[in-house]
Structures are given as structure tokens and as C-alpha cells.
Structure 1
Amino acid sequence: MRKHFFLLTLLLFLTTPAQAADLRCQGDLMTPGTIITKVRQKCGDPRWEDRIGEVTRTNRGGERLLYITQLTYEASGGYYVLTFEGGELKQTEFFQK
């Protein structure tokens, strides 16, 4: 899995600079706030999936550990990299091939 992540990272840095873009699957736009289960349901299995880190958030209920996950989909002549924090979409980037 790490090998795929390294190759994808290398490929992404060698291509056109990232652009902010929203991925559309089955007529629905995957915008910030969309939960990871909806993305999987609408877009299917990603080409790559990587857990890239974690972050601790503090609120009234105490501390919560949230995983940061990236799903990569190949579409529209490039790659959409969706970054989730605690299962909620935070950012989408598009890298052209």
C-alpha cells in the first residue's frame, strides 16, 4: 500500500498543479461536509485509499482522535484526491494527467 502511495505522490507532483474541484458521481456533487460513506456509495471504490495521519480535536465532550484519509478517484482525464477528516470531506483536489 505504501508503494502505491509513493508512486501516486510522485505522479501527482510531476503533473499539472492541483486545482480545487468537486467530484460529481451519479449526479451528486461531492462537496466539503459530505461523509465518506456517501462518497463510497455514489462513486464506488477508489483507485487508491490511504490513511495519511490523525488529529486530536477537543470539544465539550472531551478529546476525539480523528483519522485523516485520502481517497483517489480517476476521472475526467486526471485524479481527484478527496481528503477526509473523521469521515467528513474537507478538501478535494484535481490533478490532470
Structure 2
Amino acid sequence: MTLELVSIALPAAAAALSGFVFGLAYFAAMRATVAHIAAGSGWMVPSTLTAARIIGVTTLLFFMARMGAMPLLATFIGLLIARQLALRHQRDG
């Protein structure tokens, strides 16, 4: 029973961690996009950052979905935790 639990928990934890790390990069890129738009520095950099974010998160979630429901859900939870951290950082900073 414990070996079965470890075989489920370890990939789920790795997926959650990858979702969290990717989420931190995702929201940093979003913040950079907003900064470029607010600075009026043109449309090329914000458009590129937005496309990279969308392609990146789509690719990550696609591959996690191919691994199964548990890695997909864990990755999504990691992304949500990173979102909460980014929102808290924005509110406090």
C-alpha cells in the first residue's frame, strides 16, 4: 500500500513543483508585459511575451494531460499557487 501511495504522490509532487516554477515564470512574464505596455514601448515585445506565455502554458498542460489526470491536476494546482504568490507580491509591493 505504501509503495502504491509513493508511486502516485511522487509524480504528483513533481508535477505540482513544475507547475509552480512555470507559474512563477509565467507571471513574471505577465508583469513584464504590463510594464512594457505601460511604458508605451511599442507592441512587439508585449505581443511576443504574451504569445510565449500562451504557447508555454498550453504545451505544459498538454504534456501533463498526456501523463494522466493526477499530473495535470497537480500542475494546475502548482500554477494556482504561483498565481496567489504573484498576486500577493503585487498587492504588497
Q: Which has the higher helix share?
A: 2
Higher relative contact order (CA 8 A, sep 6+): 2
Q: Which has the larger radius of gyration?
A: 2
Per the normalisation by structure 1, the TM-score is 0.23
TM-score (norm 2): 0.24
Structure with more strand by fraction = 1
